[in-house]
Amino acid sequence: MVVVPVTMLALDSLRTFGDPMFGAFVTLETHYYYGLMALLLPFVFLRYPVLERAWFLPVNLLLAASAFGLSVFMFGSAETMLDEGWEFEAPRTATFAAYALWLLVLEAVRRAGGHTLFFLVLLFSLYPLVADQMPEAISGMAATIDQTAAYHTMSSESLLGLPFRAFANLVIGFLVFGVALQRTGGGEFFINLSMALLGGVRGGAAKVAIVSSGLMGSMSGSVITNVLTTGQLTIPAMQKSGIGKETAAGIEACASTGGVLLPPIMGSTAFVMATFLQVPYYEVAVAAAIPAVLYFGALFMQIDSYAGRNNVSGLPPEATPRLGPTLRDGWYYLGAFAVLVVLLLVLQREALAPWIATGVLLVLNQFSRAHRWGWMDAARFLESVGGLLVELLAILAGVGLIVGALSLTGLSGTLVNELLFIAGGSTLILLLMGALTSFVLGIGMTVTAAYIFLAIILAPALIEGGLDPLAVHLFILYWGMLSFITPPVALGAFAGAAIAGARPMLTGFTAMGLGASTYFIPFVFVLAPELTLQDGFMPAVLPFIEAVLGVLLIAASVQGYLPGLGPLTRFPRIARPLIGLAGVAIALPGLLDDGMLSNGVMFAVGLPVAVTAALIGRQARSR
């Protein structure tokens, strides 16, 4: 695994800069893609063996060698493939190679992506064989098995389609930066920085978890991985401060989940989104900024209300690091982030940005006594990068087969019309269908895989219904990730429960309650696309204020506590639902025909009820 990133970087340099000796071998983009597959796909069968027993090793080695040989064959045939149109009709030898590569990719998906994703990819990849026999709503053009195999492996719309191209052209560099940040001690620094800033305030340990886990989740892009890493530190700290074990695990799960939406890295999904929308990555990162602020702001308000209602104090001074020494010891992490942001947003060099930022980070890290690398540290870094790339390649190659099946049969266009017909032209029904579908798919798939599937099936229908394309794609991403904190399969919450020693299902429901206000945020920015900042900052000011006020009231309703006024102890059955409805009304004015009516409901009903209930409760406590 150590040699994979090194060889891969050499291949990428040939593609990007050319080389007088070897540049002639990488003359097409497909050369680079097949070369990348030859480097990574074989290691799926070695990193994820079917059985750990020694006697099964020859089988895994045979599969790995076959994956390498087939990828090299495709690499060598790339120009002929393009010139003679093999994707539609290939020679017999190439067709047999296509069958074999198709099967190997399916097995790689099963090992790296799990059985749910495997069965979904398997069914869709075979769909062209029976597309003309399906019911009218999901029927399409049929293809023979030879045509299907050739199209899957030799066209630019399936195995080498949008998911794989996004991975090859953009994702790799940012994943390397994220791994470098973690391996150089960035996770520890962000936790210490969060504790120095927020540890002493009310519910400080929980707020530290929100900030630090959000930052680390942005780098890893994996909810489960983030919970299992930062959660080892944040969950025990929350429990020591008096927070219950289910609540502590739920807070960590919510924070780690939100990291997938947090710029500047946002995991791998944002790069696939940029490729789908055919926009620079920095536009996606900018568009996700306010939705991410709203998500973490909503979570912060929920936790603050929880801490106020349950009298959860901050960490003692001796348990919180000092801000000055923390910044002095880890300033270069912030420096590397600054380099990344400048290169992305100012110079707009998204392909080079993560590599330069990684180089700056690794050079500066060698001046740190605590985190300076030796040869073994460098080897572990390369091994981590290789393992992450191998897993992601298998998943995205498999999802590419879904994309290819829809492209070959023309089903994607048919489904758009069917969804629009079912919704009857109602934007709200389309959004509710989208939220439910995204959530269900997110249960059994990674966030990236669920997003890609829905970006093909659902996004065109929502866009055709009059919604903003970028806001729609963020909406799908958002709802896919919310499945990690929502029962019955709240995998992020279950991972946190394992660390806290809590009951998994109760932790899932606790996480859902703590993140209650976040469930409304996707509807906020898809109905108010100004929040994606595509038209600048000023048009987003009023919708942002409305969203913050609405989220504050929803959080107060759920927790029964309004910051600044105290618990809603009197008439909770009347006050809390009214406050929650008022919060929804102000946050989602687009759901009513008249936005001013929505605002009027909030100010005329919600705020007076909230203030009155809190003041009555305060007077009752003072007697």
Cis peptide bond upstream of 488, omega within 30: yes
Rounded Cα distance, 477 and 581, in Å:
26
Contacts with 456 (C-beta within 8 Å, 6 or more apart), sequence order: 402, 403, 406, 412
Mean pLDDT for the stretch of residues 146-164: 86
pLDDT over 70 (residue 598)? no
pLDDT over 60 (residue 15)? no
Q: Residue 410's CB: how many other CB atoms inside 10 A?
A: 12
| Tokens 């560099």, residue located | 173
Report residue 397 as tokens: 């190659």
Q: Outline where DSSP puts E strands in 324-422.
A: none
Phi and psi torsions of 167, nearest 5°? -60, -45
| One-letter amino acid for residue 448 of the chain | T
Contacts with 77 (C-beta within 8 Å, 6 or more apart), sequence order: 86, 94
Virtual torsion, Cα 61, 66, 69, 74, nearest 10 deg: -150
Give the model's pLDDT for residue 423. 64
pLDDT over 70 (residue 442)? no
Are 345 and 288 a contacting pair, CB within 8 Å? Answer: no
Report residue 475 as tokens: 């909406």
Contacts with 516 (C-beta within 8 Å, 6 or more apart), sequence order: 302, 554, 555, 558
Rounded Cα distance, 75 and 431, in Å:
43
Q: Is 87 helix (H, G, I), strand (E, B) or coil?
A: coil
Q: Could you say which DSSP state residue 273 is in?
A: H
Give the model's pLDDT for residue 70. 92
pLDDT over 60 (residue 603)? no
Give the model's pLDDT for residue 104. 93
Mean pLDDT for the stretch of residues 122-133: 88
Give the model's pLDDT for residue 386. 83
Are 222 and 267 a contacting pair, CB within 8 Å? Answer: yes
- Nearest partner of 125 among 362, 405, 374, 386, judged by Cα: 405
pLDDT over 80 (residue 564)? no
Are 481 and 253 a contacting pair, CB within 8 Å? Answer: no
| 565 band by pLDDT with thresholds 50, 70 and 90 | low
| 421 band by pLDDT with thresholds 50, 70 and 90 | low
Give the model's pLDDT for residue 516. 80
| 65 band by pLDDT with thresholds 50, 70 and 90 | very high
pLDDT by residue (tens digit) across 365-385? 888 777 788 888 888 888 888
Mean pLDDT for the stretch of residues 219-226: 71
Mean pLDDT for the stretch of residues 108-137: 84
* CA 266-334-368 angle, 5° bins: 120
Kindly give the interhelix angle for 223-240 and 204-220, rounded to the nearest 10 degrees: 170
Are 458 and 438 a contacting pair, CB within 8 Å? Answer: yes
Half-sphere exposure of 400 (CA within 13 A, CB side): 29
| 185 band by pLDDT with thresholds 50, 70 and 90 | confident
| Higher-confidence position of 137 and 473 | 473
pLDDT over 70 (residue 3)? no
| Higher-confidence position of 139 and 414 | 139
Rounded Cα distance, 605 and 578, in Å:
7
| Higher-confidence position of 15 and 217 | 217
Give the model's pLDDT for residue 157. 83
Contacts with 415 (C-beta within 8 Å, 6 or more apart), sequence order: 137, 138, 457, 461
| Tokens 């209930």, residue located | 613
Q: Could you say which DSSP state residue 156 is in?
A: T
Q: Residue 418's CB: how many other CB atoms inside 10 A?
A: 14
pLDDT over 60 (residue 301)? yes
Q: Could you say which DSSP state residue 567 is in?
A: E
Burial class (CB in 10 A: 0-12, 13-18, 19+), 174: buried
The domain locations on the chain are 3-162, 537-623
What are the distances in angstroms from CA 296 to CA 52, 220, 302, 508?
42, 17, 10, 18
Give the model's pLDDT for residue 595. 46
pTM of the predicted protein model: 0.77
Mean of all residue pLDDT scores within the chain? 79
| One-letter amino acid for residue 129 of the chain | L
The secondary element (H helix, E strand) that includes residue 84 is helix 78-84
User: Poorest-confidence range of 216-220, 237-241, 608-612?
Assistant: 608-612
pLDDT over 90 (residue 590)? no
Number of H helices, E strands in the chain: 31, 2
Contacts with 30 (C-beta within 8 Å, 6 or more apart), sequence order: 74, 78, 81, 82, 156, 160
Give the model's pLDDT for residue 398. 86
Give the model's pLDDT for residue 594. 45
Rounded Cα distance, 551 and 350, in Å:
33
Each as own residue / partner, the long-range contacts of residues 187-190 (CB below 8 Å, 24 or more positions apart, any chain) are 187/212, 187/216, 187/229, 187/230, 189/326, 189/329, 189/330, 189/333, 190/215, 190/216, 190/333
Mean pLDDT for the stretch of residues 150-165: 86
pLDDT over 80 (residue 541)? yes
